[in-house]
Structure 1
């Protein structure tokens, strides 16, 4: 049977004691759903697994429902396959190889986002911080890190669109997810 490697990106878990999802418990849950080679990365909601090729949105809905039933709360979930994760990392418009992982972030979206959503942002006022839109993604360069970024604050206040889920990972995690889904 042919399988595809996927990453599940859970949004907003294990933050300040809210929506606690222990990674060992998440691995057990995903394995119980029949997913193979289940692994997690960090405590911030990154899981990788293999399964028969499937629609990413359908997989995300299945995981969202299983998490809600098991943990008793709803969590937004994005699922992306290895090919997408690698293509998105390779398409980075910033010099990722010469930057620290904390300086570069990737915001994944559940659907395409138009540039007009972010047209009101004054790029000059936020320099040297920068962002660029990609395929269902937004690349964010923050030389002093995300915690000090004024541009990140502005970006998080702007809705990517009705019903669009967004979740952000630093570049170290982006690279690790590409690696973990490559096998």
Structure 2
């Protein structure tokens, strides 16, 4: 059995795509996943599966959510190693006196190359900052996530990918849960 972390994007946000976590858990258990655990209402779900391939797991979950609720929910499936690398490789975490409330992690559906940072056209979203690390983007907002154009929709449009964001507290808690 392999433990996967499915990050569902856009559920239970501002009254849209409402899915109760206990209903999602029950659906995933009916699908044959074991040890299903959720964290907060925004779609962070741990599952154990015989399936090794994360994207395949995400696709199956996406299909079942659509069948059950009619929502087209993008899903990124990551590993414990992704979370560890996110915290170890984020250059903003090494800055003295950084405001950790303004640090976000964007998980991407495919690995990006070094030139992808140019495709983001960061000059259009200054003073926000970003660094690309394979299938992750580390973001440091100047003001905050709620007051910027540099959101997952912007990233998806510029890079032609599926993306989902989590703040530092959530990423830290998800790694703790992986270790439980």
CA distance in 2, matches of 1:60, 1:85: 17
Aligned to 1:145: 144
Q: Which runs of 4+ in 1 moved over 6 A?
A: none
Change (3 A) 1:172 1:99: farther
The answer for the alignment partner of 1:112 in structure 2 is: 111
Q: Over aligned residue pairs, what C-alpha RMSD do you find?
A: 2.4
3-state SS of the aligned residue for 1:95? Answer: helix
8 Å contact kept, 1:102–1:146: no
Aligned to 1:6: 4
Instruction: Give the superposition deviation at 1:61.
Output: 0.6
How far off is 1:149 after superposition?
Answer: 3.3
Alignment match, 1:34:
32
Say if 2:126 is the partner of 1:126. Answer: yes
Contact 1:94 1:141 in 2 (8 A): yes
SS of structure 2 residue aligned to 1:34: coil
User: Where does the alignment leave 5 or more consecutive residues of structure 2 unmatched?
Assistant: none
Q: Is the 8 A contact 1:36 1:50 kept in 2?
A: yes
Relative to 1, partners in 2 of residues 1:175 and 1:153: Cα closer, same or farther, differing over 3 Å?
A: closer
Equivalent-residue separation in structure 2 for 1:6 and 1:153 (angstroms): 22
1:54 aligns with 52
Question: Gapped runs of 5+ residues in structure 1?
Answer: none
Is the contact between residue 108 and residue 166 of structure 1 (CA under 8 Å) also seen in structure 2? yes
> Which aligned pairs between 1:13-92 and structure 2 lie closer than 5 A?
13-52=11-50, 54-92=52-90
Shift of 1:88: 2.2
Count of paired positions: 177
Measured in 1, the distance between the counterparts of 2:55 and 2:65 equals 15
Distance in 2, matches of 1:142 and 1:151, equals: 9
Q: Which moved more, 1:47-56 or 1:17-26?
A: 47-56
Distance in 1 between residues matched to 2:81 and 2:56, nearest whole Å: 17
Q: 2:173 aligns with which of 163, 176, 180?
A: 176
In the superposition, the TM-score normalised over structure 1's length comes to 0.84
